[in-house]
A and B are shown apart, each in its own frame.
Chain A
Amino acid sequence: MDTRKKEILNKIRPLIGLLIFSILIRILSPRFLTKSNLFNVFRQTSINAIIAAGMTFVILTAGIDLSVGSILGFSGAIAASMLASGNNIFLALVVALIIGGLSGMLNGVIITKGKVQPFIATLAIMILLRGATMVFTNGRPIAVPAASVSPIFRWIGTGELLGVPVPVVMMVFVFIICYYILNHTQFGRHIYAVGGNEEASLLSGVNTDKVKILAYTISGILAAVAGIIVTSRLSSAQPTAGDGYELDAIAAVVLGGTSLVGGQGTVIGTIIGALIIGILNNALNLMDVQSYYQMIAKAIVILIAVLLDRKGKSKSK
């Protein structure tokens, strides 16, 4: 087998994993393969997948973004409060996205200009924004009464477009755009270059700081998108919304075969990784596994998947 074929095999490895995994669950639980359940899986996956898409940019630059869960909570709270006080829905959504983008940009600036390690910088922003959300909401949920806002807002989280849940449509849309950016634009190439070798990229004329700041900004914006969906679905902003979501997003990226060292990975892998996690959660629910055991099962699946992936990759060397 030539190298090209091997690289392709490496790329579709997560997909094969997903298929085998799905078949296995289908055998264990016949209810899995019904239309309503599948839509349910996709809808539940969409939030994590959208966050993970942004996380992919960051991890490809050899960074990490721990603040996405807090950005989700914060931007959701801002959107909810603006809606609750009667603002125009589009204004509220745009402000939430801008807040998300600015938070991500702040991460990027601290990391590049302040030369702080991504783990530490985004950890600080994660704590800061969670605190800000608590202060802003007084620690209480902000309800968005259905009567007072446009039905479009409810539609985002719970509606359907041509029979497909809106969050799923948004997820697909986000991934198409991300795929396009990473594979067909100069910025996308620069993301891979910076993650592959930052010094060499700088000497090749790549504005490495700008690339990294943009990556974190995208991550922040997509976290805010997820924040809007969550708020819409619950018709309220919970002060703890998004807590711990960063870990599921990182898990999805890694399950999708993206290397934490940077420079290697795909956004297609990420969506598959997110689906594996989503299907797993769903299957455990279908099989009535207690939630405490669910966590243990999830951890085991993640470890097995990543170990198998490692093994496959080192063999092809």
Chain B
Amino acid sequence: MGKQILTMKNISKGFPGVKALDNVDFTVYENEVMALLGENGAGKSTLMKILSGVYTKDQGEISLNGEAIEVVSPKDATEKGIAIIHQELNLIPYLTVYENIFLGREIKNSLGSLDKKKMIEETKEVLDRLKVNINPKSQVNSLSIAQQQMVEIAKALSLNAKIIIMDEPTDTLTDQEVKSLFEIIHELKKQGKGLVYISHRLKEVFEVCDRLTVLRDGQFIGEKMVSEVDEGEIIRLMVGRTLDEQFPYIKTDYSEEVLQVENLSNEYIKNLSFSLRKGEILGVSGLVGAGRTELAKTLYGYYKKDTGKIILNGEEINFNSPREALDKGIVYVSEDRKYDGLILGMDITSNITISSLEKFKTAIGLNKKEEKKVAEEYRDKINIKTPSLYQRVENLSGGNQQKVAIAKSLLTDPQVLILDEPTRGVDVGAKREIYDLLNEIKKQGRSIIMISSEMPEILGMSDRILVIHEGQLKGNLNREEANQEKIMSHIMKREEN
């Protein structure tokens, strides 16, 4: 039984219109990893923002090593030994590793100038403690995401953090990198740290966490030992109901082909050929960086094609911009809602209609009433949870943001939807809703190209699966014959030549 380092008791926090946290308890134990679980919008980030001094709580107590504390600012949190490693890393790309680690607390020599030697030495020492091999003098933007994460962890260590919070740390890592991260987590446990692990990937929770705390709709649902629960139980705690089927695949009986791609090549992809049938989901699998997103954006007119043909409904097409693709019935939903998927500072209605404003044009300008009506329709149809359609999209949870993005694409009345990582950063309950939505789209006779890094999702939802590696097509599998091993072996197979 671990010793409690940090306890948060009866924490409440309200925002305009919502009670984000309602009497939540949370404990971090020495030498242990505590998983913090819950759907998007359950209050995980709010709780962690309170702990790291970004938000102030409305009520409740926090105590550190038995002593009551108030965390008034992120700086204060750092000084009290609470470090948070965000999903989006907070390093300065053009500075070196050691400059980042000592940013704001640079060591100076007696003359007042920087003592680089000492900083480099100390950086090396921390990195050694983590057993990672990174040169302290490397510029951060030359490191992989995984390495950058290690640098963040090293920074936390060098700040002598007692509690390290990791928010979705594996989202952008490869399997190998995840493995080494887990080794580091074990190392940190041994050194007596208390860790908080936030993830949507339940598999990882079983692998690396000792206990878990579940939140739902801002409420504390329970704290359990990981060894005493199974996946079904966790999901039940998170969503408050059992999910009978994770992947509700359906078969449609259309047969005609909508889209043919022949020998498509450009800077990113080489000689890709495949076809897409009406009413099917074509899964696109491959490692990160395999050229999947680039393929999608080439079909969408964002990247130019050099050679090859794209044939839509028997007609060869050449798009010079996404607008032209949209007008022909191809739409792309980005993998990165924040970067290029949505306009976060704009309201929900305007985001839904932005691709289809032509529909709302009248002689005296845009018909805003009609826009509102359409937005309401989509809100009800695909269950976008929000107090108001004039809410800014940035205030929505990941799942609801994704629904807005899909609503935007559906409003263009597309024949072909290219969905890039449609459930990334989306919680279990909303995931299921998105899958149901995909089925709905299939039934309407529209076709979906679904790019995903989540193997179970690809296998569970696709009618056919393309395997892409280094811009080339490595395999084209039917639903029946596909499995994880086959896909991986297609990726690896021709690696040698």
Chain A residues with a Cβ under 8 A of chain B: 1-4, 6-7, 180, 184-186, 189-190, 192-193, 196-197, 199-207, 263-264
Contact = CB atoms under 8 A, between A and B. Distances in A.
B366 A184 contact: yes
B345 interface: yes
B288 interface: no
Contact of B366 (A4, A189, A196): A189
A204 B354 contact: yes
B343 A263 contact: yes
A203 B302 contact: yes
Task: Give the secondary structure class of B's interface.
Answer: mixed
The 8 closest A-B pairs by CB, nearest first: A184-B365, A199-B340, A196-B343, A205-B323, A205-B326, A186-B357, A197-B343, A204-B355
Nearest to A197: B343
Given A192-B350, A202-B322, A205-B322, A3 B387 contact: yes
Interface of B: 16-17, 300, 302, 321-323, 326-327, 332, 334, 339-346, 350, 354-355, 357-358, 360-361, 364-366, 368, 387-388, 390-391, 395, 408, 412
B331 to A, nearest CB: 9
B342 A197 contact: yes
A205 B345 contact: no
B364 A4 contact: no
B341 A203 contact: yes
A186 B16 contact: no
Contacts of A193: 343, 346, 350, 354
B486 to A, nearest CB: 33
Nearest to B408: A204
Contacts of A264: 345
A185 B360 CA distance: 10
Nearest to A186: B357
A192 B327 CA distance: 22
A153 B16 CA distance: 55
Contact of B355 (A4, A180, A205): A205
Given A196-B343, A205-B322, A185 B365 contact: yes
A163 to B, nearest CB: 30
B57 to A, nearest CB: 16
Contacts of B388: 2-4
Contact of B340 (A1, A184, A190, A200): A200
Contacts of A186: 357-358, 360-361, 366
B355 A197 contact: no
10 contacts: A1-B16, A3-B16, A184-B368, A186-B366, A192-B346, A197-B344, A201-B343, A202-B321, A205-B322, A205-B326
Q: Which of B302, B326, B327, B346 has the most CB of A within 10 A?
A: B346
B365 A189 contact: no
Contacts of B412: 205
Given A202-B340, A207-B323, 8 more contacts: A186-B360, A193-B350, A193-B354, A196-B345, A197-B342, A205-B323, A206-B323, A264-B345
Contacts of B16: 1-3, 6
Contacts of A184: 364-366, 368
Contacts of B322: 202-205
A128 B391 CA distance: 44
B354 A189 contact: yes
B355 A200 contact: no
Given A197-B340, A203-B334, A263 B355 contact: no
Given A186-B361, A205-B326, A4 B390 contact: yes
B336 to A, nearest CB: 9
Contacts of A207: 321, 323
A204 B405 CA distance: 10
A201 B345 contact: no
A193 B412 CA distance: 17
B295 to A, nearest CB: 15
Contacts of B342: 197, 200
Nearest to B326: A205
A6 B332 CA distance: 34
Q: Which of A7, A201, A204 has the most CB of B within 10 A?
A: A204
Nearest to B367: A184
B354 A206 contact: yes
A180 B346 CA distance: 18
A196 B361 contact: no
B354 A3 contact: no
A200 B302 CA distance: 12
B350 A189 contact: yes
A153 B194 CA distance: 78
A2 B343 contact: no
Contacts of B340: 197, 199-200, 202-203
B359 to A, nearest CB: 10
Contacts of A204: 322, 343, 354-355, 408
B166 to A, nearest CB: 25
Nearest to B409: A204
A201 B322 CA distance: 10
Contacts of B360: 186
Contacts of B332: 203
A147 B357 CA distance: 52
A6 B408 CA distance: 26
Contacts of B345: 196-197, 263-264
A2 B357 contact: no
B334 to A, nearest CB: 6
Nearest to A5: B16
A289 B16 CA distance: 46
